[in-house]
Structure 1
Amino acid sequence: MKTALVTGGSRGIGRATALLLADQGYQVAVNYHQRKAAAEEVVALIHQRGGKAFSIQADIANEAQVVAMFELLDEQGARLHALVNNAGILFRQASVEELSAERINRVFATNITGTFLCCREAVKRMSQQHGGQGGAIVNVSSAAARTGAPYEYVDYAASKGAVDTLTKGLSLEVAAHGIRVNGVRPGFIYTDMHADGGEPGRVNRVAPAIPMRRGGQPEEIARAIYWLLSDEASYITGTIIDAAGGR
């Protein structure tokens, strides 16, 4: 059975992705930082559907915790076939002139450094250079990487721009070693993350300006992620799919 690790798998896009991957036959490691109950709920739902899953705690901004998370996968005999780098954070809406170094560094530590660390550990296990069987990585970026998210989350947008660059660069490093690396840029999706930014109804507010005139659902992003991980995308690497309703 193939094993997939989904970071930030307790809610939103991560939750939808974990459920879909389990439905498609993957054993899913549901990573969480603080939302243990929510992660366990995802695991329980997968079990109810007849799938296999387990939760695994780690703050991906912490290198030691990332290393420990992957070592736990090794100890459980879970050969990693797929990694979904979904974990990410943002803070309340603010303009650049209001940002502190502490906030910027916290966003970058999780969204950039954490994604790098998870990619690093996955490559060590997947690469045919190291005796692995290959695999696929999908990095969850954001349409904000293209728009800049002015007056709201320029720090978050910048972090996702870095994720896009990582996706391209890493894809070229490991293409000859059996690993594909792609990304998905969600647009305005109905998730709890908007509440983290202080505006729970943000998607409804901006929906009229989206060409498709609606926000997206986490399940719609999960399907794009699954496709990139699947053999249906076997000749695709270094590519980023915009899933933003035309925006």
Structure 2
Amino acid sequence: MKTALITGASRGIGRATALLLAQQGYQIAVNFHQRESAAAEVVSLIHQQGGKAFSVQADIADEEQVVEMFRVLDQRGALLSALVNNAGILFQQTRVEQLSAERINRVFATNVTGTFLCCREAVKRMSFQHGGQGGVIVNVSSAAARSGSPHEYVDYAASKGAVDTLTKGLSLEVAAQGIRVNGVRPGFIYTDMHADGGEADRVNRLAPTIPMQRGGEPEEIAQAILWLLSDAASYITGTIIDAAGGR
């Protein structure tokens, strides 16, 4: 059975992706950092649907915890065929002139370094030269990488710009090793992350500025991720899909 590791899978886009991929026959490794009960709920829902899943705790900003997370997969005999780098953080809306080094470093440690580390460990298991059978990596970026997210989250936007560059560069490194690497750039999606930034109703406020006149649902992003993981996208690598309602 193919195994998909989804980071930050206890809520939002990660949760929706976990449930959708489980329906498609993947065994799901539900990564979480702090929300153990929410991760357990995702695992339970998958089991109720007749699927297979287990949770694995790790703060991806910590290299030792990332290594241990992948070791848990190895110990379970899970054949990793898909990695969805979804975990990401942001903080209170603010301008660049008010940012601290501590905040910037925390954002980059999770959103950039953590994504790099998960990619590294996945490649070691998927690539032909390491005895793997190939696989697919999908990095969840953000439309903020294009807009810069001024007055709100320039640090977060910059971290997602780095993820886009990683997606392109890694895709070229491992294209001949049976690994495809692509990305998805969600726009304004109804998730709890906006509350982390201090404005839970942010999507509704900005909906009139979106050409499609509405925010997106996590399930819509999950569908894009599923397609990139599937054989239907077998000749696509180094590509980033914008899923932002036209904005």
Could you state the TM-score of these two structures normalised by the residue count of structure 1? Answer: 1.00
Give identity over the alignment, percent.
84
Match of 2:10 in 1: 10
The AA in structure 2 aligned to 1:21 is: L
User: Could you tell me which residue of structure 2 aligns to residue 242 of structure 1?
Assistant: 242
Q: What SS does the corresponding residue of 2:81 show, helix, strand or coil? A: strand
Corresponding residue for residue 60 of structure 2: 60
- The reply to whether residue 98 of structure 1 matches residue 123 of structure 2 is no
Residue 82 of structure 1 and its aligned partner are, at CA, apart by: 0.1
1:35 corresponds in structure 2 to 35
Structure-2 residue corresponding to 1:134: 134
Where 1:92 maps in the other structure, the secondary structure is coil
**Which residue matches 1:144?**
144
Q: Partners in 1 of 2:45 and 2:232 — Cα distance?
A: 27
| 2:88 counterpart SS class | coil
Instruction: Give the equivalent residue in structure 2 for 1:125.
Output: 125
Provide the C-alpha distance between the structure 2 equivalents of 1:129 and 1:166, rounded to a whole number of angstroms: 20
Which letter does structure 1 place at the counterpart of 2:41?
E
Structure 1 CA distance, aligned partners of 2:75 and 2:13? 27
Asked whether 1:179 is paired with 2:184, we answer no
Query: CA–CA distance in 1 between the matches of 2:76 and 2:26?
Result: 15
**C-alpha distance in structure 2 between counterparts of 1:229 and 1:66, whole Å:** 22
Q: Which amino acid aligns with 2:243?
A: A
Q: Note the C-alpha offset of 1:92.
A: 0.3
Given the alignment of the two structures, is residue 206 of structure 1 paired with residue 202 of structure 2, yes or no? no
TM-score by length of 2: 1.00
Segments of structure 2 that go 5 or more residues without pairing to the other structure are: none
- Which residue does the alignment assign to 1:71? 71
Matched residue, 1:113: 113
Cα distance, 1:80 vs structure 2: 0.2
Q: 1:62: Cα distance to partner?
A: 0.1
Q: Give, as a single letter, the amino acid of the residue that structure 2 aligns with 1:228.
A: L
Q: Take 1:73 and 1:47, find their aligned partners in 2: how far apart are those partners?
A: 18
Partner Cα separation in structure 2 for residue 128 and residue 7 of structure 1: 24
* Runs (4+) off by over 4 Å: none
| SS across alignment from 1:213 | coil
Shift of 1:197: 0.1
Output one character per residue of 1:70-123: Cα deviation in whole Å (capped at 9) or x when no partner: 011000000100000000000000000000000000000000000000000000
In the alignment, the residues of structure 2 paired with residue 135 and residue 231 of structure 1 have an alpha-carbon distance, to the nearest angstrom, of 11
